[in-house]
Structure 1
Amino acid sequence: RKLSDRFVLNPEGRPLFCWLAVVTVAWVYSAWSLIARQAFTELKNTIPVSMELTQTNTTLCHQVGWIVMDYSCDLIYLLDILVSTRTGYLDSGLLVFDSKQLARHYFWSKYFLIDVICLLPLDLVYFTIGTFHPLMRFPRFLKLYRAKQFYRKAEGMTSYPNALRVIILSHTLMLTMHWFACFYYMISESENFNLPAGWAYPLQLGKNNSEWYTLRRKYLHSIYWSCLTLTTIGEKQSPSTDLQYICTLAAYFLGIFLFATVVGQVGSVISKKNASRQEYEKMVDNAKTFMKSKGVPKTLRRRVLRWYDYSWSVGALSGTSDVNSLGMLPNTIKVELAIHVNLNSLRKVSIFRLAQPEFLYHLVLKMKTFIFTPGDMICRQGEAARQLYIISNGILEVVSDSGIMLARLKTGDFFGEIGVLDLMGGVRKRVANVRSVGYSEIFTISSEDVEQAMEYYPGIR
């Protein structure tokens, strides 16, 4: 490969995973800090050096600190565009390394548009209106999709997926409470704090209640209100203005939704919607538990998890790649679907090219799909031959026992027909080794199915 093509990130590799972790940290920083700085003037104008907020605010420095952190995140987002143009993708089961193809694939995707919008320089409004509004940076929240990618990859790599899910869910709940706490304080500030009903933050302007002026008390009281409202527990003062009613009702509604998610998976509708993903996660968790208990080597663990991940991405685990998984459909309709999906592949096999259509219609429902990962041996020389293979997608190599490549097979090619049709005098043995170069999807037909079809249609012999 060309030198420029060597610096390409594998979408399943650790370097990309580490980079996604960096982008996720930048997104988390924006999600927590922007709304807080918008709500609390102490943070809008200054930045805490330490994590502990004191009454005297002795640990604050100038606004330039926030600006440095903001534009450091912008730099990360800008670099992420470059990383995206250097991230490989799979084509025919192989990782694409060509620089022009990678750039074209990214620039024509929806993610390029999202990344451009994410970096809109709305910060320039600061210099136009002369007022610092951190929430003008709200397009940065669109980088949430990269945080989701990091979460999915982390879930696939960790041996403790349930613990990770608890952490992610807890963070989501805390971030929601944080946002509502900031909304509560901003509404209170917009209404001058001193409403008689007592719903607003109890900062009585012009009176000696200095402890309520500290940033620590402001945030703790606001987060306390948010927690009580979202969980619908405890006693709270009733709202008295339209804005207060809207905020409280929104908090009630969101609180019910969030905690229903924790307790009951948001009812049967959401459960059904996520059923296939949950089944996939269950299979992966079971595989991880099995491999961990049996002391399976890490290299083999990664291959197994890679197979699960690719199989899920192409729909093999959810039934979207197999006609026979379509439940109670009558066989006549299944045959029509199988003819549409599989017949062209079957006709490419030379021994079936002149076969009568009824014979082929019988075989199309017997075809099964298998997925192989890079380096997997599909068949070995000398083993019993019981299947015919047709390459649906991917590239295979025929190799000798010493590892020398003898031939290369591509999408549409087939092999294994000699053993299936018993053309070697009854000795059904493989005559070569075949391995997958990249990810490959292969149709198989067993010798028993072919023999059964020949019994139904003896003229094919």
Structure 2
Amino acid sequence: MSAPPIRNGELSGETGDTFLIEHGMSLKRFYSGKPFFKMITDVKWWRTVVVDPSSNFYYIWLIIMSFAVMYNLIMVIARSVFSQLQTSCRPIWLTIDYVSDTLYLVDIFIQTRKVTLENGQFVIDTKKLMNTYLKTFDFFLDVVSILPTDAIYLLTSIDFTIVRTNRILRVQRISTFFDKTDSRSNSPYAFRATQLIMYILLSLHWNACFYYQVSEWIGFCSDNFVMVNSSCEKENLGVTGSDSLLFAYVFSFYWSLLTITAMGDVSHPKTVPEFGFVVMEYLVGILIFATIIGNVSDIITSMNSEKATLEEKIDGVKQYMVLRNVSKELEKRVTKWFEYLWIDRQTVDEHEVLSSLSLRLKTEIASQVHLDILRRVTLFKECEAGLLMELVMKLKLAVFSPGDYVCRKGDIGKELYIIKRGKLDVVADDGNMVFASLGEGIVFGEISILNIAGNKNGNKRTANIRSVGYADLYVLSKEDLWDTLKEYPEAKSKLIEKGRQMLRKDNMLDEDLSKEQELLDMTTEQKLERMDQVLDDTIEQINKLTIEFDKIQRRMKKKLTRAEKKLELLILKKMSKDKE
């Protein structure tokens, strides 16, 4: 959706004034009709605010909300179970509680103004956005999560914090934050591993709190299964009880870890409630353990998928070389080439990675990555942007091993090369003498791919170019260039003419052959156009000659007239003298 026109510093259109809180989207709206501080105190202004869910603002808001929800996820259960934790810092907890409640309320407002898509268009009508949000299940959870259950304090005690359990229903904000962070992160696998560890710790925390609460209900020190304190001792573990909050939590967390992972020996239950609790613990532990194994397996598989694909290719090539009795030296070079690809991360196929993107996005990415590289080519410096954008999509990366010949003297030129990284040598036919070295950014082979008629080299390579070490080169093939130039006939003519100029400069162009070939390459339409042009030029020359002839004829008449008059005068004078 395009933004409405701006008149006199304000947005105009059917939607009225709109302020979109966003960063980095193509949909961008600014409100400059009033000073900012006047805007934020204007009720009408707030009625028009909408929020872009892909913006930095919304992402930062999700971070804030994630801290608020995580606080409730951790502390609501902990303060309900560990009474010392609640009573020792009661004013602090109450302050944080109501700050998080305020954030919850603001979050509901932001959700009502979150821009959505409808039929591919951005919906920014605030009433429509609110109605859409009110119909979602998220709205129901958001409302339940902020219900004033704290009022139960009046009937019980201010330390009865279990009534705030409904606050954890806003947990979907954490999930949304994780999804957006995963898509923004440059290290998604590391982030997913961190996310999994956080879920595990949170599960262990809740289980530790349940164990402590069950121990309190059954009675501390009633048997070896329950929590210990300073009045008893856990003989089978050799642990002396303590009344400190730290000891109580660490002991409960340790028991939770042993039970859920089934990695340690814990005291056997003695009573029916203890048996029931342990059965539930093991069932939950099996579910959590299976989830952990599955997620870890997925992360490791995803991390190693690229390497596994490369190893599969290496195995296939090795089997082929064995079947075809390839020499050990060549086999070793092939293996080292694959190793270089993996070490230098050159195994990524750009075209395959970007295949799921739209053509426009692929072109924009390719232009940011390759356009500056392509502009280094003298031949393309003055080309129109459209042609360059087409050509950047055709560039391919080629990797050459030490000692590989990129091209040999006399080969037919079919590619243009741009050195991305590495060093190449221009060597003699015997390969011993080095004439020159080529480094990063050097371009060669551009003339040969143009098929310029009259080229004395006949589009053949004029030098042997060899890779010194591993070299990464961008390659543009002749076929791809000519396929693209079909859509740009004017650019094609300019490129060929520029190529001719470069050949003339080096005295490598046969002018006669160039003109003959130019005529042969012309289509019937082009020949007719040229004949029309020649005819027009001939007519123009005839017209010029006619005009010039008329001018000369007039001048000659004037001269003859003057001569006749002079002759008459001379005759009259002579006749007068004869009479005398």
TM-score scaled by length of structure 2: 0.44
CA distance in 2, matches of 1:233, 1:381: 64
After TM superposition, list the pairs within 5 Å mapping 1:121-132 onto structure 2.
121-130=148-157, 132=159
CA distance in 2, matches of 1:94, 1:374: 22
Q: Of residues 74, 77, 100 in structure 2, which corresponds to 1:32?
A: 74
Structure 1 residue 230 corresponds to structure 2 residue 260:
yes
What SS does the aligned partner of 2:242 have? helix
Higher relative contact order (CA 8 A, sep 6+): 1
Cα offset, 1:95, TM superposition: 1.9
Aligned position for 1:82: 109
Cα offset, 1:131, TM superposition: 5.2
Aligned position for 1:202: 228
Cα offset, 1:44, TM superposition: 2.0
CA distance in 2, matches of 1:241, 1:293: 60
Q: Of residues 87, 96, 104 in structure 2, which corresponds to 1:69?
A: 96
Q: Alpha carbons of 1:115 and 1:372: their partners in 2 closer, same or farther (altered >3 Å)?
A: farther
Q: Alpha carbons of 1:376 and 1:107: their partners in 2 closer, same or farther (altered >3 Å)?
A: farther
Aligned position for 2:176: 149
Structure 1 residue 158 corresponds to structure 2 residue 188:
no
For 1:159, the aligned partner's letter is N
CA distance in 1, matches of 2:177, 2:305: 20
Question: What are the ranges of 5 or more consecutive residues in structure 2 without an aligned counterpart?
Answer: 1-10, 21-48, 234-238, 310-341, 366-384, 389-484, 489-580
Identity %: 27
Q: Of residues 240, 244, 249 in structure 2, which corresponds to 1:219?
A: 249
For 2:98, the aligned partner's letter is Y
User: Where do 4+ consecutive residues of structure 1 move more than 6 Å?
Assistant: 370-377, 380-383
Cα offset, 1:228, TM superposition: 0.8
What SS does the aligned partner of 1:95 have? strand
Q: Of residues 220, 244, 253 in structure 1, which corresponds to 2:274?
A: 244
Aligned position for 2:546: none
Q: Alpha carbons of 1:100 and 1:183: their partners in 2 closer, same or farther (altered >3 Å)?
A: same
What SS does the aligned partner of 1:8 have? strand
Structure 1 residue 167 corresponds to structure 2 residue 184:
no
After TM superposition, list the pairs within 5 Å mapping 1:46-445 onto structure 2.
46-47=88-89, 63-130=90-157, 132-195=159-222, 197-203=223-229, 205=231, 212-265=242-295
Cα offset, 1:229, TM superposition: 0.7
Structure 1 residue 17 corresponds to structure 2 residue 59:
yes
Aligned position for 1:361: none
Question: Based on CA coordinates, which of the two structures has the bigger radius of gyration?
Answer: 2
Aligned position for 1:58: none
CA distance in 1, matches of 2:121, 2:159: 49
CA distance in 2, matches of 1:15, 1:293: 34
CA distance in 2, matches of 1:382, 1:40: 70
Are 1:257 and 1:266, in contact at CA under 8 Å, matched by a contact in 2?
Answer: no
Are 1:20 and 1:146, in contact at CA under 8 Å, matched by a contact in 2?
Answer: yes
CA distance in 2, matches of 1:129, 1:258: 35
Cα offset, 1:211, TM superposition: 5.9
For 1:202, the aligned partner's letter is V
CA distance in 2, matches of 1:233, 1:158: 34
CA distance in 2, matches of 1:113, 1:375: 43
Q: Alpha carbons of 1:156 and 1:282: their partners in 2 closer, same or farther (altered >3 Å)?
A: farther
What SS does the aligned partner of 1:237 have? coil
Aligned position for 2:507: none
For 1:20, the aligned partner's letter is L
Q: Alpha carbons of 1:231 and 1:84: their partners in 2 closer, same or farther (altered >3 Å)?
A: same
What SS does the aligned partner of 2:59 have? helix
CA distance in 1, matches of 2:273, 2:287: 21
Cα offset, 1:217, TM superposition: 0.8
Cα offset, 1:23, TM superposition: 0.7
Aligned position for 1:446: none
Aligned position for 1:402: none
Question: What are the ranges of 5 or more consecutive residues in structure 1 without an aligned counterpart?
Answer: 48-62, 309-369, 384-426, 431-461
Are 1:37 and 1:134, in contact at CA under 8 Å, matched by a contact in 2?
Answer: yes
Cα offset, 1:262, TM superposition: 2.7
CA distance in 1, matches of 2:119, 2:387: 29
CA distance in 2, matches of 1:176, 1:112: 26
Cα offset, 1:73, TM superposition: 0.8
What SS does the aligned partner of 1:213 have? coil
Are 1:88 and 1:96, in contact at CA under 8 Å, matched by a contact in 2?
Answer: yes
CA distance in 1, matches of 2:52, 2:305: 26
Q: 1:380-411: per-residue Cα shift (whole Å, max 9, x none)?
A: 9899xxxxxxxxxxxxxxxxxxxxxxxxxxxx
Cα offset, 1:429, TM superposition: 5.8
CA distance in 1, matches of 2:86, 2:171: 23
Are 1:181 and 1:222, in contact at CA under 8 Å, matched by a contact in 2?
Answer: yes
Q: Alpha carbons of 1:193 and 1:371: their partners in 2 closer, same or farther (altered >3 Å)?
A: farther
Cα offset, 1:258, TM superposition: 2.0
CA distance in 2, matches of 1:264, 1:104: 39
Q: Alpha carbons of 1:85 and 1:293: their partners in 2 closer, same or farther (altered >3 Å)?
A: farther
What SS does the aligned partner of 2:50 have? coil
Q: 1:28-50: per-residue Cα shift (whole Å, max 9, x none)?
A: 11111111111111012222xxx
Are 1:5 and 1:97, in contact at CA under 8 Å, matched by a contact in 2?
Answer: no
Cα offset, 1:169, TM superposition: 0.6
Cα offset, 1:122, TM superposition: 0.9
CA distance in 1, matches of 2:125, 2:217: 56
CA distance in 2, matches of 1:121, 1:194: 38
CA distance in 1, matches of 2:221, 2:252: 16
For 2:60, the aligned partner's letter is C
CA distance in 2, matches of 1:133, 1:375: 60
